[in-house]
Amino acid sequence: MKNTLKFIGGTTLFVVSLHASASDYEVITVHGSATHMQDVTPLDSQRDISPDFTDTLNAINGISVNHNGPVTGVLQYRGLIGDHIPVLFDGVGIAGAGPNAMDSPISHIMATSNTQVNIYKGVAPVIAGPETLTASVDITQNIDWDSFSNTQLFWRGTDNGKAQYIRAQHEEITEDIYLSGTGFYQTSDHSENGNSAQRSQSFYKRYGGQGQFGLKQDNGEWLGSFQHQYTGPSGTAALNMDINYIAATWARLSYTWEAPANAEVKMTLYGNRNTHDMDNFSLREISEPMAKRLNSVDSQLQGVKASWTNATWQAGLQWQTQAHNSLITNPNSENFAIVNFNDVQRSRTNAFIHYTTTDSVQSFSFGVQPTQVKMHADNVSHHMQQNQVSIAKLVNDFNTADKALSWQFIDWVGNYKRVLNPNLDWFFDVGLKHKAPAYTQVYVWFPLGISGGLADGNNYIGELALKHETAKSINTGLLWETPTLTIQAQIYLSDIDDYITGMPSTNEAVNMLSMMMSNKTPLQWSNVNSQLYGMEIDLSYQISQQQNLVLKASISRGRNMDNSTELFRIAPAKLYAIWQIEHERWTYRIKQTLVQNQDNISLLNNETPSTGYAVTDVISTYRAATGLTVTIGVNNVFAKNYQDHLAGINRVGGAEPISERLSALGRTFSIGIGYQF
Ligand SMILES: [Cu+2]
C-alpha cells in the first residue's frame, strides 16, 4: 500500500490506494480531506460477481442499488434515487438514451485498473458540479504515472448463472506517455434464486472497450479517453420492455496547464452518444400481436468545462447541452407511431468559485455556484390524434404550449473541519443547493410508464410548470483515527423544497386515456416538500497483522412532508460486516450482510413492505505465483431465498410470481483467474 497525495480542487486530499495488480484491496476507504468527508473505493472487478459492480457499490456506506434488471442498476445515495443523484465520470456527466434508466449511469462503468468510486459525503462542495442536491458520486480513472507497463487478463465463471466475465487491459507507461487499452465481455443465461427457481429476465450480454492516453509536457498534461459499450439482449423484468440493444460511446479530452504563480488551468471537452431499442415482445411473451411495442430512443451530450485553481481559490465555467428523441411503434401496424420526445434539448451553464483556508486546527471552505438550465422540445404526434378526442387534446395542448423553459439558481456551500485532538476530527457541512427538473419530468405529454427508473408500475405525465428543487442541508460527523482503529459517524438532514415526485393527476383527458389503456390512474410530476435524514457509521479495526474487521451501518429516511407519507423505494437499514484474514498465500473475506425489514413505504407508488434478510458471502484469493491470482467465491453460502427491498417488481412472470419483488441470486459458486505480467 502506498499513500498518494493528490491535489484536488484546492484542497489537499490524502488517498490511500493500492495499485490494482492484485485483487487484495483494503476494504475501508473512508478519508477526511482538508474540509470534507470523502469516500474513495477502488472498483473491485475480481471479487465482485455482479455484472454492474453492485457488490462494490452496495458496500459503500450510504449507497444502495435499485435493480430493474441485471445490468440496469439505479444508484441510490442517502435516499436520493435516479435523476436526483447525478453520477459523473471523471468530473463530467453523460446522458443516458432511455427515459427509464435502462442505460442508467452506473451501467456505463467499465472496470479498468484505475477505476475508483469517489463520493463527497455530506454536502458536496460546488467544485463537485452543479445540480447535486447533497452529495456527489464521481467515477474516476486517474492515471498512475508511478506504475509500470503491464498486461492484465482476467476470466471468471459462475456456475448456476452460467455467467462469464472476461477482461483484458494493457498499460504502456513511460515517464511522459501513458497508453491503455481495455476490453471486456460479459454474458449470463438465466440465473437462479435461493430456491433454485429461474430468476425472471435475469439474462444479459455486454461487451465494450476503452482507450486512455496521457501525455506530459514541460508545463502541461493532455489526457484523453474513449469508451464504447454495447449491451445486447438483456432482461429488465421490472419495466414494460426489455433491452434489445444499447450502443453507448463517450469521449473526453482535457489539457492541464501549470500556470504561473502555482496555479493550474484545466480545460475539458466531453460528449457521449447513446442509441437504444427496447420492446415488449422479443424477449418476453405477449398476449396479442397488436400490443407489440418497439421504442427507439437516442441521446447525445456535448460539454466543455474550464477551471483555474491555486492553493486557496478555484474558479470555473461549464456548459453542456443534451438532446433526446423517442419514437414508439408497433411492428404489426404500419400506422402506429407515438412521438413521445421530439428533439428535446436540455442545456446548462454554470460558474463556480470556491475558497479554502487551512491552519493547524481548522479548515474552512466556501463556494458559490450560479447555474442556468434551459430546455425546449419540438412538437409531438400520435397516430390516433385524428380520430380520438382526448388524444387530439393532449397533442394539441402540448404543441401549442410554450415549451421553451428556463430555471436559474445559486448554490451556496460551506464545509468546516476542526481538529479536536490528534486522533479526532469534527466535520460540519451546510448547503443550499438546487436542481432543475429532468426532461422526462417536464415533457411526457402522454400517460406512459416513464418513471426515470423508479419502475413503480404507474403511468406518469409531465408538468411544464415544474419549479426547480431547493435542498437546505446539514451534515456533521466525527472521525476518530488511530493506527489500529478508525471510526467515522455522520448524521445528515436535507429539507428539500419543491422536491419532484409523482402525485395523482387531475388532468381529465390524461386520466381517461390512462384508465382506457392500462386501467391505471396516472401520477403527474409535482413539486412537494420533502425531508431526507439518516446516519452512517463506519468502523475499521486491525485485529492483528493478519486480520481486519470492517463494520458499516446506515439508516436513511425520506418523507413527503406535504401529506406525511414516505418517499418511494428508500433503502432499509443495512449493516455490513467484513472479516478479512490473510494467511500465507491466501486471503479470506467473510462478508455478512444484514438488512432490516422496510415498512416505510409509499402507497402512491404501489410499494409494499419487505422483510429483512441476512446473507453470507465467502471469497478467497490465492496468490499462486507472481502476478497470478485465483479467486474462489461462494456468494449466498446458505442459499437464502430473499427479495431485496430495492429489487424491481416482476412485470413479466415466469418461475417467479408477477407483481412481487424479484429474488436475489441464490448460492453462487465462482472462480476467477487473474494474470498480470
Ligand atoms: Cu429502454
Backbone angles phi, psi at 508, to 5 degrees: -65, -40
User: Dihedral (C-alpha) 50, 54, 55, 58: value to the nearest 10 degrees?
Assistant: -170
Question: Distance between CA 556 and CA 448 in Å, rounded?
Answer: 30
Q: What pTM value is reported for the model? A: 0.91
Cα(570) to ligand 1 centroid in Å equals 23
Tally the C-alpha atoms within 13 A of residue 556's C-alpha that lie toward its C-beta: 25
> How much distance in Å is there from the Cα of 233 to the middle of ligand 1?
11
CA distances from 231 to 73, 203, 247, 457, 579 (A): 14, 11, 7, 24, 35
CA distances from 233 to 90, 187, 279, 379, 482 (A): 29, 10, 10, 32, 50
Give 538 Cα–ligand 1 centroid separation in angstroms.
36
Question: Does residue 377 contact residue 403 with C-beta atoms inside 8 Å?
Answer: yes
Q: DSSP labels for 535-590?
A: EEEEEEEE-SSSEEEEEEEEEEEEEETTTTEEPTTPPPPEEEEEEEEEETTEEEEE
- The two beta strands, 460-461 and 523-542, are parallel
**How many angstroms separate the alpha carbon of residue 509 from the centre of ligand 1?**
26
CA of 283 to the centre of ligand 1 (A): 13
How far does the centroid of ligand 1 lie from the alpha carbon of residue 226, in Å?
Answer: 23
- State in Å: Cα 298 to ligand 1 middle: 10
> Measured in angstroms, how far is the CA atom of residue 405 from the centroid of ligand 1?
26
Distance 77 CA to ligand 1 centre (A): 23
Task: Tell me how far the alpha carbon of residue 401 lies from the centroid of ligand 1, in angstroms.
Answer: 27
Interval between CA 347 and ligand 1 midpoint (Å): 23
Residue-averaged pLDDT of the chain = 90
| Ligand 1 midpoint to CA 637 (Å) | 34
pLDDT value at residue 11: 33
Task: Report the distance separating Cα 169 and Cα 219, nearest Å.
Answer: 29
pLDDT given for residue 162 in this prediction: 83
Domain coverage including residue 653: 2-676
The three three-digit cell numbers of residue 464, written as one number: 411544464
Find the 32 Cα to ligand 1 centroid distance in Å. 39
Give 240 Cα–ligand 1 centroid separation in angstroms: 9
Residue 121: alpha-carbon gap to chain centroid = 15
**Residues of the chain predicted below pLDDT 50:** 1-32
**How far is 167 from 186, CA to CA, in rounded Å?**
9
Cα of 466 to ligand 1 centre, how many Å?
Answer: 24
The answer to whether the CB of 453 falls within 8 A of the CB of 74 is: yes
- Tell me how far the alpha carbon of residue 329 lies from the centroid of ligand 1, in angstroms: 14
Integer Cα distance of 306 and 315 in angstroms = 9
**Signed CA dihedral, 461, 463, 468, 471: sign only:** negative
CA of 408 to the centre of ligand 1 (A): 30
CA of 243 to the centre of ligand 1 (A): 6
Chain segment 584-613, per-residue pLDDT in tens: 899 999 999 999 999 999 998 989 999 999
Q: In the chain, what is the straight-line distance between the N-terminal and C-terminal CA atoms, in Å?
A: 19
pLDDT at 16: 35
Cα-to-centroid distance, 239 and ligand 1 (Å): 9
359 CB-contact burial (10 Å; exposed 0-12 / middle 13-18 / buried 19+): exposed
Neighbours of ion ligand 1 (CB under 5 A): 98, 102, 278
Q: Strand order in 73-77's β-sheet?
A: 63-67, 73-77, 80-81
pLDDT of residue 36: 73
Which amino acid is present at 243?
A: I
Neighbour-count burial for 160-193, b at 16+ CB within 10 Å, e otherwise: bbebebebbbebebeeeebebbbebebbbebbbb
Integer Cα distance of 95 and 101 in angstroms: 10
* CA 210 to centroid of ligand 1, rounded, Å: 23
Distance 242 CA to ligand 1 centre (A): 7
Q: Compute, in angstroms, the gap from residue 328 CA to the centroid of ligand 1.
A: 11
Q: DSSP per residue over 317-375, as a string?
A: EEEEEEEEEEEEEETTEEEEEEEEEEEEEEEEEEEEEEEEEE-SSEEEEEEEEEEEEEE
| CA 427/CA 535 separation, integer angstroms | 14
Q: Amino acid identity, residue 148?
A: F
Determine the distance separating the centroid of ligand 1 and the alpha carbon of 656, expressed in angstroms.
22
Residue 101 CA to ligand 1 center (angstroms) comes to 7
The reported pLDDT for the residue numbered 641 is: 95
SS3 state of residue 387:
coil
- One-letter amino acid for residue 204 of the chain: Y
Q: Using CA atoms, how far apart are residues 133 and 566, in angstroms rounded to an integer?
A: 19
For 42, half-sphere exposure in the C-beta direction (CA atoms, 13 angstrom radius) is: 23
CATH code: domain of residue 615: 2.40.170.20
Distance, CA 82 to ligand 1 centroid (Å)? 15
User: 483: helix, coil or strand?
Assistant: coil
With residue 513 as reference, give the H or E element that holds it: helix 508-518
Q: Give the three cell numbers for residue 291.
A: 400490443
Distance 453 CA to ligand 1 centre (A): 10
DSSP label at 664?
P
Contacts 24+ apart (CB under 8 A), 39-43: 39/117, 39/118, 39/119, 39/121, 40/15, 40/16, 40/116, 40/117, 40/118, 40/119, 41/116, 41/117, 42/17, 42/18, 42/115, 42/116, 43/109, 43/111, 43/115, 43/116, 43/117, 43/139
DSSP H or E segment with residue 511? helix 508-518
| Grid cell for residue 271 | 460528449
Model pLDDT, residue 28: 44
- Structural domain total, the chain: 1
